[in-house]
């Protein structure tokens, strides 16, 4: 990570500064605790940058811990993708990777301790009955008829649960707290349930699995976490977090702090909804470039630096808000404008024949970046036949049109001035060929007789250009807040992906996966990491040259 990326400040860092100044803590230890039930998205990137960034800036530690207490939805594929995403974003975790499942034996022991203290009981209410007994926000809950079982009976039944003698859904272990609490999370929450599922780390050793709220706080304490940072929806859960740690025998008692989660326009951040998009083949996998996943953004051409910059710009607050898509795009545009080499590609080609050009291809030297000579140059073949964008030619146009017009001149980028002399059309009236002449005295200079040529257009040799599939991505949904729709699938944008068959300059045949280029006048593109090959080049558009989001709806 670049040292020039300025260290931010926020309310969490101010708390840490105060804790270090008062001597409450002498070092900082954070953690990033994803559940491996899907790929990480841009919201997780915010949490990664926060937790790992704090550890980095305070010379502390940050654990990568997998919250793997739900084996039915988890998979080793997700574990590997999460590790890759954290590394790609520029961070390293402290020590070995942690798993909540590492602590299953200790968690079981703490559950036994709560039973022995009369603070947990085995309940036989069904999930539906449990909801009925729980009460509402304005009405207290009712005690389960099984709440006052003896310690001995609870221990015996919990042992049966552990030994696989109880069917799924027939019994659960609940904390005995307060069914009249104004906080629903404290109304005797379930802390263990029966699940006959093979776990990706522990295999078939266990058939009872602890719940997140019971596991998370204990895992934090066992790892010596000083500041447990999570999103605002866990604010009420902090009461249960503290209750568990207050009532078991454990040395460390971390403190939980909450910040607002990231909401981004024109997409969804629910892993359940993202999973639905994947499983119903509404997108092409978790790394589809239209997805807000880190792997999708990476495949689309976003850099790790641009995502870190985005997370820095939006900041860390307690206020829920929705970020405009243009904010994210601004970060990658700023990055690539500075760092992406230029190249030429024609997305919707029409042929130009330069009738007075004779002989073999002429190799022209073209700079890779207009403002960075240190990025060098490349050789571009200029031939008798070239392609230009269909939209860059008109038979007639007003003076504001700065491209090629019949009977007028324009400059080809890095090459000569050409003049459109005549055209050919097909039976439907579509232009098939533009016949031009060129002024061979205009390479790198203006016409000698003082003619003013204002327009510059890009081009690619028709003879040596390389065919390429060009994928143009738009927003995935047609409304800014698809999560609020009755059926978010119904507001998927049918035009979120357009595929064009273009032609690119031959230097791009060597482009490595995910490497970014600015296609002159067309936007920023990268080589697709999955589908592109030397036999068939595929480019993804990362972002346009300008912010087009402000124009949506105009």
Active site residue ranges: 35, 261, 271
Q: Judge whether 95 is annotated as a binding position.
A: no
H helix or E strand, kind and range, residue 337: helix 325-339
Q: Which residue has the tokens 């798993």?
A: 99
What 3-state DSSP class applies to 469? strand
> 554 vs 443, 457, 481, 497, 549, CA distance in Å?
41, 28, 18, 21, 10
Provide the 8-state DSSP code for 406. B
**69 touches 38 (CB < 8 A):** no
Q: How far apart are the first and last CA of the chain?
A: 39
Token pair, residue 279, equals 């499983």
DSSP letter string over 346-397? ESSEEEEEETT--SS-EEEEEES-TT-GGG-EEEEEE-SEEEEEGGGEESS-
Q: Judge whether 269 is annotated as a binding position.
A: yes
Q: Which residue has the tokens 């552990």?
A: 162
Q: Judge whether 67 is annotated as a binding position.
A: yes
Using CA atoms, how far apart are residues 453 and 495, in angstroms rounded to an integer?
37
Using CA atoms, how far apart are residues 412 and 443, in angstroms rounded to an integer?
10
Q: Judge whether 43 is annotated as a binding position.
A: yes
Between the CA atoms of 316, 321, 327 and 331, what dihedral angle is there, to the nearest 10 degrees? Answer: 20
**Dihedrals phi, psi of 412, to nearest 5 degrees:** -85, 130
Using CA atoms, how far apart are residues 383 and 374, in angstroms rounded to an integer?
28
Q: Judge whether 532 is annotated as a binding position.
A: no
Q: Judge whether 261 is annotated as a binding position.
A: yes
- Give ∠ CA 442-421-346 in degrees, rounded to 5: 70
Using CA atoms, how far apart are residues 134 and 294, in angstroms rounded to an integer?
38
Chain CA centroid to CA 29, Å: 25
Using CA atoms, how far apart are residues 83 and 125, in angstroms rounded to an integer?
39
Residues contacting residue 274 through CB under 8 Å, at least 6 positions apart: 38, 39, 41, 268, 286, 291, 292, 293
Token pair, residue 418, equals 């050409």
Q: Judge whether 46 is annotated as a binding position.
A: yes
Q: Judge whether 37 is annotated as a binding position.
A: yes
Q: Judge whether 231 is annotated as a binding position.
A: yes
Q: Judge whether 199 is annotated as a binding position.
A: no
Using CA atoms, how far apart are residues 469 and 41, in angstroms rounded to an integer?
27
Q: Judge whether 478 is annotated as a binding position.
A: no
Enumerate the β-bridge partners of residue 393: 404
H helix or E strand, kind and range, residue 103: none
Q: Judge whether 266 is annotated as a binding position.
A: no
Q: Judge whether 270 is annotated as a binding position.
A: yes
Nearest alpha-carbon partner for 310 in 341, 264, 259, 274: 264
Q: Are strands 466-473 and 537-543 parallel, antiparallel or unpaired?
A: parallel
Q: Judge whether 44 is annotated as a binding position.
A: yes
Q: Judge whether 271 is annotated as a binding position.
A: yes
Using CA atoms, how far apart are residues 151 and 121, in angstroms rounded to an integer?
8
**Which residues sit in the known binding site?**
35-37, 41-47, 67, 212, 231, 261-262, 269-271
**Which residues sit in the known binding site for ATP?**
35-37, 41-47, 231, 261-262, 269-271
**Which residues sit in the known binding site for L-glutamine?**
67, 212
């Amino acid at each position: 990570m670049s040292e020039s990326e300025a260290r931010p400040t926020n309310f969490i860092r101010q708390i840490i500064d105060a804790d270090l100044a008062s001597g409450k803590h002498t070092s900082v230890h954070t953690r990033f605790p994803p559940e491996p039930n899907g790929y990480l998205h841009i919201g997780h990137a915010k949490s990664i940058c926060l937790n790992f960034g704090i550890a980095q800036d305070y010379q502390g530690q940050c654990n990568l811990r997998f919250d793997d207490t739900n084996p039915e939805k988890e998979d080793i594929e997700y574990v590997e993708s999460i590790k890759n995403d954290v590394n790609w974003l520029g961070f390293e975790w402290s020590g070995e990777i942690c798993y909540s499942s590492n602590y299953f034996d200790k968690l079981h022991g703490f559950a036994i301790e709560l039973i022995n203290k009369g603070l947990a009981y085995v309940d036989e209410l069904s999930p539906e009955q449990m909801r009925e007994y729980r009460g509402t926000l304005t009405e207290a809950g009712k005690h389960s008829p099984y709440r006052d079982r003896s310690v001995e009976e609870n221990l015996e039944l919990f042992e049966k649960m552990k030994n696989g003698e109880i069917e799924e859904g027939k019994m659960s272990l609940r904390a005995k707290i307060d069914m009249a609490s104004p906080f629903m999370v404290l109304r005797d929450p379930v802390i263990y349930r029966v699940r006959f599922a093979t776990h990706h780390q522990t295999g078939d050793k266990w058939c009872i699995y602890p719940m997140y709220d019971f596991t998370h706080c204990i895992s934090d304490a066992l790892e010596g976490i000083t500041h447990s940072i999570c999103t605002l929806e866990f604010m009420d859960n902090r009461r249960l977090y503290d209750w568990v740690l207050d009532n078991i025998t454990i040395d460390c008692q971390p403190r939980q702090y909450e910040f607002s989660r990231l909401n981004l326009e024109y997409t969804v951040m629910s892993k359940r909804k993202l999973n639905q998009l994947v499983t119903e083949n509404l997108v092409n996998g978790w790394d589809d470039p239209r997805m807000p996943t880190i792997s999708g953004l990476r495949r689309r051409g976003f850099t790790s630096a641009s995502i870190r910059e985005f997370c820095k710009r939006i900041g860390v607050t307690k206020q829920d808000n929705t970020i405009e898509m243009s904010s994210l795009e601004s970060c990658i545009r700023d990055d690539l404008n500075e760092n992406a080499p230029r190249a030429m590609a024609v997305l919707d080609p029409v042929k130009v024949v330069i009738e007075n050009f004779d002989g073999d291809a002429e190799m022209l030297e073209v700079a890779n970046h207009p403002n960075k000579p240190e990025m060098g140059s490349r050789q571009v073949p200029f031939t008798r036949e070239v392609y230009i964008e269909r939209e860059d030619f008109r038979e007639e146009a007003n003076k504001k049109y700065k491209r090629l017009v019949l009977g007028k001149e324009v400059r080809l980028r890095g090459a000569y001035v050409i003049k459109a002399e005549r055209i050919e059309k097909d039976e439907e009236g579509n232009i098939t060929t533009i016949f031009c002449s060129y002024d061979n005295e205009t390479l790198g200079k203006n016409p000698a007789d003082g003619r003013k040529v204002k327009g510059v257009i890009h081009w690619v040799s028709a003879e040596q250009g390389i065919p390429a599939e060009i994928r143009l991505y738009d927003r995935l949904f047609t409304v800014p807040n698809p999560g609020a729709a009755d059926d978010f699938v119904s507001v998927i944008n049918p035009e979120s992906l357009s595929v064009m068959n273009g032609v690119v300059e031959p230097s791009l045949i060597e482009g490595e996966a995910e490497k970014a280029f600015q296609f002159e006048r067309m936007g920023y593109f990268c080589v697709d990491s999955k589908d592109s090959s030397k036999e068939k080049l595929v480019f993804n558009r990362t972002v346009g040259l300008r912010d087009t989001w402000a124009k949506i709806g105009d």
